[in-house]
Structure 1
Amino acid sequence: MKILAVTSCPSGVAHTYMSAEALEKEAKARGIEIKIETQGSIGTENKITMDDVKKADVVILTKDMGIKDTDRFAGLPVVKVRVDDLIKHSNTILDKVEAFLKDRKQS
């Protein structure tokens, strides 16, 4: 499984990076491959490429701010979550993503 994510918050500072860190930590603990792009106050970092998109199963976007260039994720399942939820509940979010992808593969 490969997950892509883009995080951003209204101030573009702390929560952008805290949510990326929480999600990355939880994904790695589960052995899930993940790439996280941050769209913070200093601009876009760790930009997701079209090659990344082609290999991905799902994308997670924070919904507290408008994420730039979401059209590149056309055709992928998209999960939109609050940045605070990603920080506090990344385990639950990944549980739901894994269940969704499992159900999708069985269909």
Structure 2
Amino acid sequence: MMKIVGVAACTVGIAHTYIAQEKLENAAKNAGYDIHVETQGTIGIENELTDEQIKEADIVILAIDVKISGRERFDGKRIIQVPTEVAVKSPNKLIEKAQEVIAKG
């Protein structure tokens, strides 16, 4: 089973951050994947990823419009970075893209 970790962070308030998180989680679960999405918003970091989750992840999805803290945690991992809008509007496409990236090795 593909394991995905992600971070969602938007510029304006926090609405997009949570919508992106929810859309990504639903799309991944519908595809049968394991996913954990951390949010970084005006109220700080929520649902923080554990070292274990990051270590086990096949791929990292960053749905971000701003610089995130702790990006170095993902060094050496395969990363897809998109604006939050992409995660909100086309979460299934994004999960498919993650699948392709992993399949290519």
Secondary structure at 2:99 match in 1 = helix
Highest Rg: 1 or 2? 1
Which residues in structure 2 correspond to 1:23-42 (within 5 Å)?
Answer: 23-42=24-43
Taking only aligned residues, the RMSD between alpha carbons, in angstroms, comes to 0.9
TM-score (norm 1): 0.93
Note the alpha carbon deviations across 1:48-74, whole angstroms, 9 max, x for none.
Answer: 111111111110112311111100111
The count of aligned residue pairs is 104
Q: For residues 74 and 24 of structure 1, what CA distance do their matches in structure 2 show?
A: 23
Runs of 4+ that moved beyond 4 A: none
TM-score (norm 2): 0.95
Corresponding residue for residue 88 of structure 1: 89
- 1:6 offset after TM fit, Å? 0.2
Unaligned runs of 5+ in 2: none
- Give yes or no for contact 2:6–2:38 (8 Å, CA) kept in 1: yes
